């Protein structure tokens, strides 16, 4: 039996979890969420956490922390937080044997290995092959992509910058969207992330609104005006991507068109990743957008775009495709990684 510490560290909030391992089984002993900005560093937060859950007598042995930012040589300077984290320092100051820092999307990759059937919504059962690669894609603030390969009884995850590959239009409307984004942003190329992400939902909405595809509602106009006035500010009072999604569910025509275009582009990009990896071990759709728009993800548009790959479309029929429903998948991944240190 071993006690481990897992964390999911973001600029706004940090979730810490203490787990106990018995063989391959992980049991949660305690979990707390803290406002990251209220602490000068991770160390005092961990000390507070262990006191809060009354586990000071049986301290953890190893830890893994998922971080919303780049990790190089087991160190990370958080983008939206004045923390500089080094694995060696954390080992010394927290009296741990091993501390590993991993990117938050790498943690999602590890996390899919610990999900149950209740944590998933299957879009295509496919023909699972445990020895084949596993692919993970997740649209949220950005567009994360990565993959896992089996290494004996374990898996190794490889992060990717695939979200920054070129956006590939598939229709006249998407070509117009590409041209609109090039001109609006005064840049020479558009990445998939500029379309398939939360910011992409907003960009698609602006494109359809500006070309007068449908009437903009007064409620959405007010939200968009507020958001546009707050561009550049650290704190935003509105989340236009979430508002567009919610309005689409309430049959706002412009928002419905926005989400339909977005879901198609998302499916196409997931299909591109699947073609490059042939992930018969499973293709997992993570990120908050998919889980919060499950009805749209399940209406056929996403899978049609994913599978529409011309002469090689049949190759993707065997790929298991799942939407990740568990919002703690990254924390699960950090705990699993800690158990393998």
Specify the DSSP class assigned to residue 166. Answer: B
Instruction: Share the mean pLDDT of the chain.
Output: 94
Q: Are 37 and 83 in contact (CB under 8 A)?
A: no
172 CB neighbour count, 10 Å cutoff: 8
Which residue in 229, 236, 180, 233 sits closest to 203, CA to CA?
Answer: 180
Which residue in 216, 263, 264 sits closest to 240, CA to CA?
Answer: 216
Specify the DSSP class assigned to residue 82. Answer: S
Which residue in 61, 85, 91, 81 sits closest to 73, CA to CA?
Answer: 85
pLDDT of amino acid 22: 84
Specify the DSSP class assigned to residue 191. Answer: B
Name the one residue in this structure whose structure tokens are 């992509």: 145
Angle between helices 172-185 and 253-277 (to 10 degrees): 100
Alpha carbon distance 340, 311 (integer Å)? 42
Name the one residue in this structure whose structure tokens are 């937080």: 81
- The β-bridge relationship of strands 154-160 and 143-151 is antiparallel
> Residue 229: pLDDT above 80?
yes
**Residue 235 main-chain phi, psi, to 5 deg:** -105, 130
Domains and CATH numbers, the chain: 2-114+326-339 (3.30.420.40), 163-324 (3.40.367.20)
Task: Give the pLDDT band of residue 179 (cuts 50, 70, 90).
Answer: very high
**Residue 159 main-chain phi, psi, to 5 deg:** -70, 170
pLDDT of amino acid 59: 86
Alpha carbon distance 144, 337 (integer Å)? 19
pLDDT of amino acid 56: 67
Share of the chain above pLDDT 70, in %: 99
Which residue in 157, 190, 199, 167 sits closest to 284, CA to CA?
Answer: 157
What value does the mean pLDDT take over residues 200-222?
95
Write down the pTM of the prediction. Answer: 0.93
DSSP labels, 317-328: GGS-EEEE--TT
> Residue 141: pLDDT above 90?
no
pLDDT tens for 17-64 read 999 998 778 999 999 999 999 999 999 999 999 999 987 678 899 999
pLDDT tens for 86-99 read 999 999 999 999 99
What value does the mean pLDDT take over residues 115-121?
96
pLDDT tens for 266-287 read 999 999 999 999 999 999 999 9
């Amino acid at each position: 039996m071993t006690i481990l510490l897992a964390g999911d560290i973001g600029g706004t909030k940090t979730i810490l979890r203490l787990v106990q391992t018995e063989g391959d089984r992980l049991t949660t002993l305690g979990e707390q969420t803290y406002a990251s900005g209220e602490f000068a560093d991770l160390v005092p937060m961990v000390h507070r956490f262990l006191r809060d859950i009354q586990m000071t007598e049986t301290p953890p042995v190893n830890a893994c922390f998922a971080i919303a930012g780049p990790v190089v040589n087991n160190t990370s300077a958080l983008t939206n937080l004045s923390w500089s984290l080094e694995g060696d320092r954390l080992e010394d100051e927290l009296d741990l044997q091993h501390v590993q820092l991993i990117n938050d999307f790498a943690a999602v990759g590890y996390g899919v290995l610990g999900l149950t059937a209740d944590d998933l919504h299957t879009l295509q059962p496919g023909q699972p092959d445990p020895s084949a690669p596993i692919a993970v894609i997740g649209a949220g603030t950005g567009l994360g992509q990565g993959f896992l390969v089996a290494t004996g009884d374990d898996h190794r995850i490889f992060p990717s910058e695939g979200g920054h590959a070129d956006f590939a239009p598939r229709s006249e409307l998407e070509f117009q969207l590409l041209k609109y984004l090039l001109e609006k942003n005064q840049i020479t190329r558009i990445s998939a992330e500029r379309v398939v992400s939360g910011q992409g939902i907003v960009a698609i909405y602006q494109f359809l609104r500006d070309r007068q595809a449908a009437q903009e509602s007064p409620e959405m106009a007010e939200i968009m005006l507020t958001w546009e006035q707050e561009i550049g500010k650290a704190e935003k009072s509105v989340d236009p991507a979430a508002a567009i999604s919610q309005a689409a569910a309430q049959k706002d025509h412009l928002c419905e068109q926005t989400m339909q275009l977005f879901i198609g582009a998302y499916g196409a990009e997931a299909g591109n990743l699947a073609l490059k990896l042939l992930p018969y071990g499973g293709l997992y759709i993570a990120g908050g957008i998919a889980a919060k728009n499950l009805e749209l993800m399940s209406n056929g548009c996403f899978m049609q775009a994913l599978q529409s790959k011309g002469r090689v479309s049949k190759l993707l029929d065997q790929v298991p495709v799942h939407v990740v429903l568990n919002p703690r998948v990254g924390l699960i991944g950090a705990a699993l990684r800690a158990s393998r240190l």
